[in-house]
Structure 1
Amino acid sequence: MFSASRSQPWDVHRPPAAEGRTFLVTGGNAGIGYFVAEQLAATGAVVVLGSRDTAKADAAMASIRSRVSGARVRHLWLDLADLSTLKTAVDGLDIDHLDAVVHNAGVALDDPPRRETVDGHELMFGTNHLGHFALTQWLAPLLSAAPAGRIVTVGSFAARSERLDLDDLQSTRDYRPKRTYGRSKLAQMCFGFELDRRLRAAGSTVLSVVAHPGGALDSLTPSRPPVRVTTSGERLRALPAGLLVQGKDAGAWPVVRAVLDPAVRGGQLWGPRVFGLRGTPRCEPVPSHMADRAVAARLWAASSELTGTDSHLGFR
């Protein structure tokens, strides 16, 4: 499985060229998504930043262009919290194929009260999981038209300690923001693994891979004005944490490898090498609760019903 990686060691600072390919990064205007977009742009690919905030997307593209000579980046208006807009958004790509999508955009709330999307879904579950679940259906024809399309779902280390409550997916009975966030990311990861099983069963050429950034802190992240500026005081205070975690630039490495490395296989989980928290990317064992097929099947059925999507998501 890893022979290609061993014969040609992966260099996080020099990923392989990808001229002629097109990648969509949801939430590519900030955080992990920004650095994924910046690193993919350096390969020569066309990188589309999916974001509902045009001003932030413009700032991100300006930053990428200032650091990557000849960067080919563009913005796609995309609101994962409003399912009715997704088909129109995908139509706006105006391309005949898509080589990869990175399901990265997400909402993380720290405090109550519970909030909902336009469609009446709990905001974190609705945006992080249901929005990407529905988006996949509209992207399916473009991904299938690519020579080797990939869907890379960005999970979270926080999902390891959570379990899905299939009878309360929307946290209507017991809403606790950090737990609800962790469960929304767990739902995404379960979806990514189940999607690959279904793609393989359908004989599709598209792969579904899951990646996570480990522990990635803003305070350990290099400045990218005007996207974000990390002050010297923030960096100094974060130095002790740097022994265990890393910045968001390094947190993007497993995601970028999941997009680009020809040795990556569908159904794999990629994360940082050191305790899953920091370092260069490696393939990790999939935790049993993320690989539970019975749970994944129930989550899939519920997600299809809640989003009104085809249960095959357009992959036949």
Structure 2
Amino acid sequence: MSSTPPSRSRPWDVHRLPSAEDRTVLVTGGNAGIGYFVAEQLAATGAVVLLGSRDSAKAEAAGASIRARVPGARVRHLRLDLADLSSLESAVDGLNLGHLDAVVHNAGVALDDPPRRETADGHELMFGTNHLGHFALTRWLAPLLSAAPSGRVVTVGSFAARSERLDLDDLQSTRDYRPKRTYGRSKLAQMSFGFELDRRLRAGGSTVLSVVAHPGGALDSLTPSRPTLPRTTPGERLRALPAGILVQGKDAGAWPIVRAVLDPGVRGGQLWGPRIFGLRGAPRPEPALPHMTDPAVAARLWAASAELTGADAHLGFR
């Protein structure tokens, strides 16, 4: 993948991204899955890419894989554990940066089976990691993002959020825990946060943008091989080919997220996803469903998140 100078007249080409040599981007969960390909594609633009991961060995392996494919790639590891809220302030302090151009809130936990599990802080694991961890991280990153010429917070949502609704009286799924539903609700909470954050940033006159993006349908079996990713057999790839009519690999799933980070035409409060049925293809802005952008629900979620994480309701943006 090559990088080209930005041009407002050139159509967006996922294979010829604009140069971002002067930018620094943190990708949470950048060592695996969608996050890995977001990091790899951003590294090809010349950006400094920080891989946020609690596993140093996996992050180093991902960095080595990116450097092997992108000569001269500037990739660093930030030890980051979103399930341990008390560790986030010191992690951000360890960045030693004057500003941060963008953060991609991508890392996530997805459990398929009971029992219900909790973080070190006593929060349900998926809600606590996927939503509360990113909410708290944003608090500590706010000064760095505000110091950037045009900082961005890109929150990665999911198709799983489309059919879910938040239970504001049971955000931690203590009464009725079903893993797939709890995961979908955690991703919906992330998306609600992303839209509400932009409303608050605009109201406060901030230059930081908050954008939501999702990868559509992204399968391991349609994803190019990388040393750090799950390996698929030739037979699995062959069986997955018919699904390629509707869905895609995780490399293509990264495209809307990368565009949300880089494109100067992206506006705060937008939702970006794949062009074809929201499942595959080149990135485009798409309308968000009303339950994702409901300001009354978002306000209650925000207040609960601030209380659960001990964050100031303004999150420190200026």
Q: TM-score per shorter chain, which class?
A: over 0.9
Q: Which residue of 1 aligns with 2:242?
A: 240
> Is contact 2:31–2:228 with CA below 8 Å preserved after alignment?
no
Q: Which amino acid aligns with 2:144?
A: L
> Is contact 1:26–1:103 with CA below 8 Å preserved after alignment?
yes
Q: Quote the sequence identity (%).
A: 86
SS at match of 2:49: strand
Question: Any residues of structure 2 matched to 1:1-316 within 5 Å, and which?
Answer: 7-316=9-318
Q: Closer, same or farther in 2 for the Cα pair 1:180/1:5, shift >3 Å?
A: farther
> Is contact 1:212–1:254 with CA below 8 Å preserved after alignment?
yes
Separation in structure 1 between the aligned mates of residue 134 and residue 34 of structure 2, nearest angstrom: 17
Q: Which amino acid aligns with 1:170?
A: Q
Separation in structure 1 between the aligned mates of residue 125 and residue 193 of structure 2, nearest angstrom: 18
268-277 or 229-238, which moves further after superposition?
229-238
> Is contact 1:5–1:263 with CA below 8 Å preserved after alignment?
no
SS at match of 1:185: helix
Q: Closer, same or farther in 2 for the Cα pair 1:92/1:70, shift >3 Å?
A: same
Structure 2 residue runs of 5 or longer lacking an equivalent are 1-5
> What do residues 65-113 of structure 1 show as CA deviations (whole Å, max 9, x unaligned)?
0000100000000000000000000011111000000000000000000
> Is contact 1:63–1:227 with CA below 8 Å preserved after alignment?
no
Separation in structure 2 between the aligned mates of residue 52 and residue 110 of structure 1, nearest angstrom: 21
CA RMSD in angstroms, aligned pairs only:
1.1
Runs of 4+ in 1 over 4 A off after TM superposition: none
Q: Which residue of 1 aligns with 2:3?
A: none
Once the 2 structures are TM-superposed, how far is the Cα of residue 227 of structure 1 from its aligned partner?
3.5
The number of equivalent residue pairs is 313
Give the TM-score, by structure 2 length: 0.97
Q: Which amino acid aligns with 1:137?
A: R
Structure 1 residue runs of 5 or longer lacking an equivalent are none
